Amino acid sequence: MRAEIVSVGDELLKGQRVNTNAAFMAVALSGIGVPVGRIVSCPDIEEEMVSVFAESLERADIVLVTGGLGPTRDDRTRKAVQQLLHRGLEMSKDAYENLAGRMKKRGLELSASLRDQAMVIEGSHVIANTKGTAAGMIIRCGERFYDHYLVLMPGVPSEMQAMMELTVIPYFASLSSLVIRHTPVKTLGIGESTLAEMIVDIENHLPEGTTLAYLPHAAGVNLMITTLGQDEDAVDRDNRNVVDAIVERASKYIYSTSEVTLEATIGAMLLATGKSIAVAESCTGGLVASRLTDVPGSSSYFLQGFVVYSNQAKQKSLGVPKELIESFGAVSEEVARAMATGCLEKSGADYAVSTTGIAGPGGGTAEKPVGMICLAIANKRSGSVLSKTLFMQGDRERNKLRFSEAALRELWECLRNK
């Protein structure tokens, strides 16, 4: 079985939106052994859609379409499918009830344009929309298209993703005979080329059917080990062997071999040891706290954050001595250490992390350039304070992200080695 993806929307063709949906769907499909042959973005024009859908249905067993299902008039996907397959619309009771329920919850009336969202192509298998109003559809396209499948979903990423996970993937998984295993290897603090050199011999001797991809991100690189085959046990074994070999080689840099974030990994470590955390941030402006609290249940271990942008706030909220700031500057390991110990005291947490640096674009000097960060971690039990200075390169948002990643990385190291 092969798939193609069609993304409908003028905003894609104008470059106003990057097509992240297609990448999500491609990953999900390869998870059930369905390779993607083409990805096509086409405009909101009915005739164009009709011909793009027809071309893809000729070539591929499954054609996934996103976009053009919302309540406004630039949403023409259903009309194009009606024209292509010569079918009418019918009311989906399930979709209607979902709509009515969502509106009731918000105390709103069900308008005519919204009610229209429950109308689906005749003979569709309806995909429930757990995150929005427009119903999705799985449609068998009849003899003319070799009974291939057309799947219609909204373009809103959260709605499409929920539909893929809850309905589309389970639906097609049972029809596919290939097995695919993907295992991520998530690393920190090592670049793509250094990591590649470190595992060159593993990469040169991958078992047949196994591939290794480098996925660089803002603060390092992750690996994805993919194995494809007919026999589930062999696929599992081959995949696991490669992952184990990499983990053995590069364990220092690896924080996970599953799809969890660094902040969730840290959360699990804190939970397991019954320890709590507080943060004191200057240059990261609340981003470290925000990332730590992205984790469900983080209120069990995250006590408090101080975003101390001004020098006065550093003094008043954390008791950083004025003289320290005057002697060493706000961006210094000395101030970072004082912020961490002050944060520990004020919050009563077991660990405190602090950041102070220059995110840019202004504020840099020759000795303290944009991209410089000082960070510290204070440990209540041992009474020790670790501090570090690092230099990054990027624009303001990228620097903030890398700063936050550096702080979380140090925290992770500290929790791992304690």
Q: By CB under 8 A, what part of segment 273-332 binds a copy of itself?
A: 279, 281, 284-290, 292-294, 296-299, 302-310, 312-313, 316-317
CB of 131 or CB of 237, closer to a copy of itself: 131
Furthest-apart CA pair in the chain: how many Å?
A: 82
Token couple for 28: 């999900």
Residue 36 · residue 5 · CB < 8 Å: yes
Is position 414 an interface residue for a copy of itself (rule: CB under 8 A)?
Answer: no
What burial class does residue 113 get, using C-beta atoms within 10 Å of its C-beta: 0-12 exposed, 13-18 middle, 19+ buried? exposed
C-alpha angle 34/38/42, rounded to 5°?
A: 130
Token couple for 338: 């004082």
Applying the rule CB under 8 A, the residues between 343 and 362 that interact with a copy of itself are 346-348, 359-362
CB of 146 or CB of 214, closer to a copy of itself: 214
Smallest distance, a copy of itself to C-beta of residue 111, A = 7
Q: Which of 97, 122, 232, 395 binds a copy of itself (CB under 8 A)?
A: 395
Q: Which of 25, 264, 324, 372 binds a copy of itself (CB under 8 A)?
A: 25
CB of 158 or CB of 384, closer to a copy of itself: 158
Stretch that binds a copy of itself, among 12-20, 143-151, 232-240, 331-339 (CB under 8 A): 12-20
Instruction: Say whether the peptide bond before residue 35 is cis (omega within 30 degrees of 0).
Output: no
Q: Which of 1, 17, 83, 125 binds a copy of itself (CB under 8 A)?
A: 17
Q: Which of 189, 207, 319, 363 binds a copy of itself (CB under 8 A)?
A: 363
Smallest distance, a copy of itself to C-beta of residue 127, A = 18
> Which H or E run contains 84?
helix 77-85
Residue 120 · residue 126 · CB < 8 Å: yes
Phi, psi of 157 (to 5 degrees): -55, -45
Smallest distance, a copy of itself to C-beta of residue 87, A = 25
> Which H or E run contains 376?
strand 372-379
Token couple for 76: 């023409």
Residue 117 · residue 134 · CB < 8 Å: yes
Q: Which of 79, 131, 249, 388 binds a copy of itself (CB under 8 A)?
A: 131
Residue 2 · residue 61 · CB < 8 Å: yes
Applying the rule CB under 8 A, the residues between 248 and 277 that interact with a copy of itself are none
Applying the rule CB under 8 A, the residues between 33 and 52 that interact with a copy of itself are 35-43, 48, 52
Applying the rule CB under 8 A, the residues between 91 and 110 that interact with a copy of itself are 102, 105-106
Fill in the DSSP letter of residue 276. -
CB of 156 or CB of 270, closer to a copy of itself: 156
Applying the rule CB under 8 A, the residues between 159 and 218 that interact with a copy of itself are 182, 192-193, 196-197, 203, 211-216
C-alpha distances in Å from residue 387, one per residue of 2, 4, 242, 264 = 53, 51, 36, 23
| Other Cβ atoms closer than 10 A to 158 | 11
- Alpha-carbon distance 162 to 65, whole Å? 15
Smallest distance, a copy of itself to C-beta of residue 283, A = 8
**Distance from CA of residue 85 to its chain's centroid?**
36
CB of 212 or CB of 386, closer to a copy of itself: 212
Based on its alpha-carbon atoms, the radius of gyration of the chain, rounded to whole angstroms, reads 26
- Alpha-carbon distance 85 to 120, whole Å? 13
Smallest distance, a copy of itself to C-beta of residue 123, A = 27
Applying the rule CB under 8 A, the residues between 50 and 69 that interact with a copy of itself are 52
Residue 336 · residue 374 · CB < 8 Å: yes
CB of 274 or CB of 417, closer to a copy of itself: 274
CB of 125 or CB of 261, closer to a copy of itself: 261
CB of 299 or CB of 417, closer to a copy of itself: 299
CB of 43 or CB of 336, closer to a copy of itself: 43
Paired strand residues for 315 = none
Smallest distance, a copy of itself to C-beta of residue 91, A = 18
